[in-house]
Structures are given as C-alpha cells and as structure tokens.
Chain A
Amino acid sequence: MINALFIFNERGDVLISKFLKEGVKRNISDVFKIQVVLNVENKSPVLTLGSTTFIHIRFNHLYLMVVTRSNTDLSNILEYLFNFKSLLFQYFIEVDEDIVKDYFTTIYDLIDETLQYGYPQSINFNQLKEIIPQPNELLSSKSIFRKPNTQQVQSSKIFDQTNNDSIPWRSKGIKYKKNEIYLDVIENLNILISSNGTLLRSFINGLILVDVKLSGIPQCEMMIHDISIVQDLKFHKCVELNKFDRDNIVQFIPPDSEFQLLTYKCQQISKLPFNVTIDFEELSNEIKFDIKIKSLYGRNSIANDFVLNIPIVHNLIDYKVLKSGGSFEFVKDIKTFKWNFSQFQGLTENSLNLTIKTIKSTQLILQKPSIYLDFEILSNSSGLSLNYLKVKENYKVIKWIRYITKPQSYEIRY
C-alpha cells in the first residue's frame, strides 16, 4: 500500500517525511521535488516512474504526498489523503507551513496512528484526540468558534477503545443544556449557457450539512419530499443504508459535530435564477459589451454578494462604463471586470454598457472566456424539500433548516 508519506511546502522542501515500509530510499523526495513540485507542466495527481508512484493532493501551498511501489488501490489512497487533510484541519483549525512545523510531532503521531503498515485505518477525530491530544493552545482558541449558548456540559468520559458496542463516530455521555439541530440544504448550481441561449449544462450538486448539539445517543429520522427529483444520493457513514433502500427514510445517529449528511445530484433544474443577455461587438481597437441581467426568482428573495465577472484576454488601455446600478471595477491581476451588487432583488432587471479600448493587435483575438456569476440565494433550485425531521429523544429539540443556492460554475458564453 503506502510506502512513505511526505508533506512538502511549495518550494519543494520536505516538512515531514514518514517511511512506513521498506522499498523506498530517503532521497526519493528529491525526485518528487524535481518531477512534480518544480515542474510547471506536470501537475497530474499521479506520476509513475519505473515502478514507483507518487500520489499527491495540494492545499494551502502544501503538498501531501505518498509513495507506493505496487499497483495500489488509488481510490483508497486518495480518500485517505483527503481524510487526513480534514483531520489536520480538525486538529489545527488552520493548516499552513508554520503549523506543520510548529506541530511536527503531533502530525507525525497522527500519521503513525492512521497508517498501519501503510494501510489506512479509521481516521476519526473524536477517537484520535483521546490518544493524541490536541495542542492546548489551540483548544482554547477553538472556543471562539463555539456559540456561547451551546456550551458543552463536558464530556469527560474517555472514549473506550476496547468497547465494541460503541458507535465509532460518537462518544458516550454527551450533554447539552440546549438541544439543537441545524440543517443547511446547499445547492451548487452548474450552469453553462451557449451563445444562442441553449442550456448546455444544467445540474445541481446538492448537499445537506448538519450541525448538531444533541445530548446522548440520539436517533434521528428524516424523509425527503418527492425523492424522485434527485439522483445519485450519497450518505454519511452514520446513515442506515439498508433502511433507506427499503423505506426511503434517512435514519442516523449523528456525530457530535458539523458533518455532511448526504449529497445528491439533480439533473432537472426547476428554476433558473438569472437571465443574462449579452451583446458583444469587436472593433480593431475597441470592444463593446451590452449586458442585461434579469433576476427570475421571487420579488421577496434576494441574491447576496452578486458579481457578474467579465474576463478578457485583450490588453486594455482604458474603459468606459454606463450602468443601471451596482458598483464596477477592473481587477488587473486576473484581467476581469466585476459588476457587483451587494444585494440583487428578485424580478429586477439591470443593464450595463461597457466599452473597452484595447491595444491594437494585428491578429484578431477570438478567445472569449465565458462570463461567469457569483452569488448566494437563500432558497433552493431543485425543488427538494424535507418532509419531516424527527429526533427520537425525550428532550426538546430546536430544529433549523435553511436552503441556499449558489453557483459552483455559472457560465455564459457569448
């Protein structure tokens, strides 16, 4: 399986190396540094040289990389890497080069504990923190993130590793003064509209995030209204899959933290939030955009932090803009015009005339990077809703549910 695990910084310096099996030399890290970190071309997550394979993921200017010498199950390794990354964030809240250096020993222990002979083992924050304590100074700062009214009454009971009956993702004896469960139904829109107004891509990647502050070992149950509109359901490990297969009921004992209960896909978008029309004209040293955007959601809904982005490839000298509202700016670093509205009301139309003076070029520039949108609307787009949510405990539970629609990629070609 995994022969060695490394953490590199962006310059290719080794921050942590851990050899789990024989078969790789110490200087193997140089190969990765040269072939991947310093190589601008090769950014593939998998690289096999001879019979040595390097697999990496990147985050916060760090490379988390493993070396393997056989035809390993790549899916298993990738899941391990992403789970290990989440574990680091659970331990240290923020993860960067300094954190990795400061908490070297803790991370080294975590690697040792989650890989047995190179095989990934259960990565469970609640269990691991009993064996490998979270650094004290981070524990205290973490309390900032907790809401003051939901103080945990203290679950001092140490997780009993030898006990087979316990639920791995939830420790016993959790108690809250106020029992609450928050549900966020988040719908990530993927929209691609062709220049003639055809929807080339329109689907939703949805997920339900749950934040629980519940005492004891609560059994929760929930049913999705009209399940036929969503597809490809994937559940958190706490959900009884057989129960769902049989009765369409999502039954679970939640972990004591925020977690992703399920994800789904919806191919059938019931409403499109915006209609954008773009008139585009290109002259030898000038390009003109005439853009109209109309919000199609209800009058009482609002899109927050709305941005219409116009990336350009031309070299510009100057530009003129006329608009019906919002603010407008050009961000030089990414060569993108941004038309911002802190709030975009429903059923409202706004227009923009943009004239860009460009450096005269001998060759016609044909690339027209799609215009793309950013926003967040507090409603759903798939039509998915929850029938009921029950917590089968004899205490009072406050339940919250919120629907959010935002784009994962919302592109319009012109």
Chain B
Amino acid sequence: MEGHDMINVYPQVIEMFNTDDLEAKRMCYYFIGTYALSKPDLTLSTLPIIINDLNTGSPQVVALALKNITSIPIREFFKESIRPIRKSLKSENISVRKAAIFTIARLWERDPKMVNDEGLMATLYDLIEDKSTNIVAAALTVLLDIQDKSSDLKLSFNKGQAVYLADLLGNADDWDQLTILNSLMNFTPQTHDESYTLIDKVISLLHHENSSVVLNTFKLMLYLLNYASEIEEYIIRKMTSSLTSLLSKPDEIRFLVLRNVILLILSKPKVFHFDVSLFFCAFDDPIFVKDTKLEIIYLLANESNLSIVLQELAEYSIDVDVQMSKKAVRAIGNLAVKLEAASKTCVDTLLDLASNDIYYVNQEIVIVFKNIFRRYNQFDYALSKIISHADKIEEPDSRSALIWIIGHFARKIPKAESLLADLVSGFGEDPLDVQLCSLTSVVKLFIQKPEEGQDVVLEILKKATEEVDNPDVRERGFFYWRLLSAQAKFPGTAKDIVDGEVPLISNENEQLDPIILEELELNIGSLASVYLKPVGQVFRLSKRKLLPQSPAKSNGFSNIVGSLHSTSSSFAEARPRADTINSNNTSTSESGISDQRRVDEFDVPAIQVNPIKKQSNLSRRVTTSKSSLSRKLSIRNVFH
C-alpha cells in the first residue's frame, strides 16, 4: 500500500490509542508522528491521551510520549509539554530522564525563548553535575547541539570543570565518551600545565577500538597541544600510530582516516611523519580508497623514497582499472613538476610506460608532459618520443595538450607544420577546447616559423571565422587575424602576446591557507575533513571555529622534545615515557623504507619436492561452476 493511503485509517488508529499493549502503542505513536500535520484536527484530539500517558504510563510509555509531544509541530502540543518535562527530569528512571533532556533540544528548535524563560537552559547546566554519566552526556549533547545553532550561547569550561568531565571518561560508554571529548573542545587551557593535565587524562583513549573515539581523542589532543610549550615526542608517535592503526577498519572508516591523514600532511608536515608504504593500494581497495591513497602517496613523495614510490605508481599505471591507471600517470607527471631532482627519473618512467603503447595510458602521458615541458627545458629527447605517438592521440584533453606542445615548441620540432596540419585537419568537428587551443597553436607556429606555418594558419583562421558557429572561436579567430595583419605596423607585438613568456608552474595548489587548516584541525573526523574545504563553504549555516586565544597559546609544535626520526617510520608503538629511549633504538628503524626485505631472507630448503606429473589431461574444458570461494571473491569481476 502506498504511504498516502494509510492516512484514511487515522480515526481507527486513535481508537486503538488507549491500548495497554506497548508494541501497539508504539505503532500508534509512530503513526501520529508521521501523519500529524496531514490531519491537524484529528491530531489535536490525541493530546489528552498523550497527556494521560505522560501522567500514568510505564517509563517506556512516558519516554515515548515525551518524544512525540515535542516532535509534533503543533503549538498546543509543546505548550503542554513543559510540565511533564519538568516532572520527568526528576524521574528515577534513566531512560525517562534522557528522553526529557532530548525534548529540550526539540523545544529549543521551535521556541528558544520559551526554553530560556521556563528555566530549562539553567536545568541543563545543572545536569552537567548529575551523578549519572549517562545524564551528564545527554545534557552536554543537547547543550552542544544548541550551541551550534544559537547565536549567543557559548559554552566555556574552566580547568576544574574540564578535569571533572575528563574523569568521567573512564566509566562512560563509547557514545557518552564521544560527547564528553567533544565538549572538552570548549575548554581553553590558560596555562601550559592545564593542557598537559588534560592530555594525560585522555591519551589512553587512543587505544580505543571505536574509531570515532580515537579520532575525537586525536582532535582534542591536537587542539590542546596548541597550548603546550613543548611536546614530548612519544605523544606525537602515539597519535600517529593511533591513526595508522585505523587503516585496518572497514573501507568507509579507512576513507575518512585517509582524508584526515591528508589534512595532517598539509597542516603539520614537520610534526606527523607517515611511512609512504602504508598507503600502497591493495587490489581490492574500493576506488574511493585508492584515490585517496594515491593523493597521499603523491604528497609524501620526496627524494629519499622516490624510487619505491615510482615503482609503485608505475605498477598502478598498467592497472586494469582505467581510472586508476590514468590517475597514477598523472601522479607521476605531477611528481616530475614538484620535485626537480626527481624529474629525470619521472620522465624516464613515463617514457618507458609510453613505449608500451597502451591507448589510455598514452592519452594521459601526453597531458602530463605538457606541464613537464613547460616547467623544464632539458627534456628535448622526450619531445620527439612523445610526438612519435601523435597519430594515436584521440581524447580531447590529450589532443589539446599535444597541439599546445607542438605549437609552443615548433622551433625545436622538425616538420612541426605538417604535424600540426594533420592534427587540426578536423578543426570544424573538434570540441570547443581543442578548437581554441588549435587556433593559438597555429598562430604560435606562424610566429616561430613564418614560412612553414603560413598555409596552415591561413586555413585555420579562415575556418574559424567563416565556418564555425561558436562566437568564442570566431571572436578569437578575428582577433588573431587582426593581430597578424597589424604585424608590419607593430612588429613584435604578436609575439609578445601569443608566444611570450609563460608563467611558471608551481605546486601551490597543494597548499591550503593556514587559517583554513586551523579550522579543519578543529573539525577532524567531520564531513569538512573529507572535503578539505572551509566549513562555511560546504555548510553555509555552520559556525566558524577558531583557536581561542589564551596566555598559554604557543608554538609547541616547533618544540618537540626527543628527536623525531625523520628517516625511520613513526608508527612503531609509542612506549610509556620511561623506556622511550630504548624503543627508539630497537623497533623504529626496522620498518623504514631504507632496509627493504626480500623474500629470499625467509627461504628454507624444502624437505619434499613434488615433481610435475606428466598426465594425460593435457587439455581441459573451461568450467563455469563457481566454488564457494569464488563466490566470495566475485568482487573481482572487474576483469570481465
């Protein structure tokens, strides 16, 4: 039955309402919760029943009634709710009290003034000191929720309150811990010691199995460390390893953790050190995990790990997954632009890949070479190799790139004019981007080689101004036409405009504004941390978070005590303070990239060697039966 048909049974549901059966009662409540606004008059007639439930019902019925009386958007309902809420807040039963606390949040949404006038806000503050952790957490949840929406409420805890809350963490369940950790973000340490005290109280939660508790503890610690004068190295190691250990969680959680790793690489590259090999892709990683890993590999690449990174990226670039393959090629190209010292190795890797003649790989290689040629001028040998693939370049972006390369370096390319003439022969049918790029390139060619370029430039300008309908193309065609005609009068002008110095490519786009990073650090684990964008840009109504000022605010991150081993990996488990020095000597260096292990090291001779049997079953039919194992693995059907 379609949803809208159900409304016709509303009168019958009301008849049912006075039942003693809890399950039936629940259903009635769900029903009026859903259809309240479609039949307001009928809904209003249920009010006495609800009030009766509130006064006489079992704890579960009271909780149910409370939830509903405040969620039905009819004024009479929530006006009648104040008294029962007050009464329920004093109930013996925890679940009734919790339900009552959450109704305050609902009421606030409808009428903030009423909640204030009735003294319910003050009640919430009192409940923070309740003896039940459950109730404290519920009150904090509601206060934090209201703080997010309200323009004037700003929670702020002093040291005593913060310590009191942190001490509740030990006995709270996961969800209450999350609330408490979050509310501690409203504590601003006034001295360095206050910051250390709190860190000591929460650090053991980094071992929690709940990934959200780990991330929120991480967020709180990172926040508190802004108010520390110096930071002991084991704290940083413990934090780093708490994140990397989450990489064995389900894909969706790994995705979130990986996004936050990117944030840390961008915001605190000198503080948190991650071993790049942790982020190598496994074949069954879903694409959203692979993507993010690829981004991390690119960001972590440096001269010391280049060979292993390139080897890995080259492997991905011949992956069966076309998207993945293209992204890997792009990453290699970007690395060439980012690391000057590595550019030669990257270029050679790319040329090696190009020689395989894989269609989609080469489409992408041309695109990345455009930037490489633009950035460096020592790769002339690559130029001819790339040009030699010209006839197989078909995708629009790749063709634009190739046309740009030939036009820009026409001087260096023998027979550039005939190459370009071939590429632009289908000018009329090309997509807009390719047309615009072709126009500029033929003009560049003409400026560099007037004799050879004459024919093609005339042909293209003619087509652009006479045959193409797109106004942008025509406009640019006319512009170039006039520019070239005026050459005699203003010699050199056309060259300056069309073939002048190109701005240098830099990798600025991987840097984010420090203020945005500061805001994102305060939002670790949130949706904004996935998008790595300023919170206000994604969620317009969200409040901006900034690090509060305090006399204790300092630059502790530049003052890390106990050396950070930049070459060794940082995920060796942090030891308690006393033996920090020992563990540095033993376990940290072992998983570094520098000393890669080989399979041979594990080899032992076999006791039994089974020889190959020369059997007669030389040729076998292809079976289609699926073993149970293959069914489990059917995710691999990417190979179809």
Which A positions have Cβ atoms within 8 angstroms of B? 1, 19, 22, 26, 43-46, 48, 51, 53, 57, 68, 70-76, 78-79, 81-82, 105, 108-109, 112, 116-117, 119-124, 131, 161-162, 164, 168, 188, 190, 192-194, 197-203, 205, 228-237, 241-242, 244-245, 260, 262-263, 265, 267-268, 271-272, 275, 294-296, 299, 305, 307, 309, 311-313, 316, 318-325, 328-336, 338, 345, 347-353, 363-364, 366-370, 372, 374, 409, 411, 413
- 19 other contacts beyond A109-B26, A200-B312, with CB at 8 A cut-off? A43-B288, A44-B288, A112-B26, A117-B142, A119-B145, A120-B175, A162-B94, A198-B596, A245-B203, A272-B599, A296-B602, A313-B320, A313-B639, A322-B614, A330-B620, A332-B624, A338-B627, A353-B612, A409-B284
> What residues on A are CB-neighbors of B212 within 8 Å?
73, 75-76, 78-79
Closest Cβ–Cβ distance, residue A51 to chain B (whole Å): 5
CB-nearest residue of chain B relative to A270? Answer: B602
Taking each of B209, B255, B284, which has the highest tally of chain A beta carbons within 10 Å of its own beta carbon? B209
- Taking a contact as CB atoms closer than 8 A, the residue among B132, B175, B573 that contacts A230 in the complex is B573
Tell which of B238-246, B369-377, B558-566 binds the partner.
B238-246
> What residues on B are CB-neighbors of A364 within 8 Å?
356-357
> What residues on B are CB-neighbors of A205 within 8 Å?
248
B141 at the interface (CB under 8 A from A): yes
Give bound CA distance, A78 to B212, whole Å: 8
Number of A-B contacts (CB under 8 A): 339
| Chain B interface helix/strand/loop/mixed | helix
> What residues on B are CB-neighbors of A123 within 8 Å?
175
- Are B612 and A268 interface neighbours, CB within 8 A? no
- Are B26 and A265 interface neighbours, CB within 8 A? no
- Taking a contact as CB atoms closer than 8 A, the residue among B174, B205, B280 that contacts A192 in the complex is B280
- Taking a contact as CB atoms closer than 8 A, the residue among A82, A161, A311, A312 that contacts B94 in the complex is A161
Give bound CA distance, A124 to B175, whole Å: 11
Give bound CA distance, A68 to B209, whole Å: 25
Give bound CA distance, A237 to B213, whole Å: 11
> What residues on B are CB-neighbors of A334 within 8 Å?
630, 633-634, 636-637, 639
> What residues on B are CB-neighbors of A131 within 8 Å?
60
Contact A74 to B282, CB < 8 A, known contacts A22-B73, A324-B611:
no
> What residues on A are CB-neighbors of B614 within 8 Å?
322
- Taking a contact as CB atoms closer than 8 A, the residue among A72, A73, A351, A369 that contacts B639 in the complex is A369
Which B positions have Cβ atoms within 8 angstroms of A? 3, 23, 26-27, 30, 34, 60, 73, 92-95, 98-99, 102, 105-106, 109, 131-132, 138, 141-142, 145, 148, 170, 173-176, 178-179, 182, 203-205, 207-212, 214-216, 241-242, 244-245, 248, 250-253, 255-256, 277, 280, 282-284, 286-288, 308, 311-312, 315, 318-320, 356-359, 523, 525-531, 535, 538-542, 569, 571-573, 575-576, 583, 586-587, 590-591, 596-600, 602-615, 617-620, 622-627, 629-630, 633-634, 636-637, 639-640
- Are B526 and A73 interface neighbours, CB within 8 A? yes
Give bound CA distance, A46 to B254, whole Å: 13
- Are A322 and B211 interface neighbours, CB within 8 A? no
Give bound CA distance, A263 to B245, whole Å: 9
> What residues on A are CB-neighbors of B600 within 8 Å?
197
Contact A241 to B250, CB < 8 A, known contacts A194-B311, A411-B283:
no
Give bound CA distance, A26 to B4, whole Å: 12
> What residues on A are CB-neighbors of B624 within 8 Å?
331-333
- Taking a contact as CB atoms closer than 8 A, the residue among B174, B572, B612 that contacts A231 in the complex is B572
> What residues on A are CB-neighbors of B245 within 8 Å?
231-234, 263, 265
Give bound CA distance, A107 to B173, whole Å: 22
- Are B572 and A121 interface neighbours, CB within 8 A? no
> What residues on B are CB-neighbors of A82 within 8 Å?
250, 253
CB-nearest residue of chain A relative to B592? Answer: A267
A-B CB contact pairs (8 Å), 21 listed = A45-B288, A71-B526, A72-B526, A76-B525, A117-B106, A122-B176, A164-B132, A197-B598, A199-B596, A200-B311, A228-B583, A234-B214, A237-B173, A237-B209, A318-B622, A319-B622, A331-B625, A334-B630, A351-B610, A351-B612, A367-B320
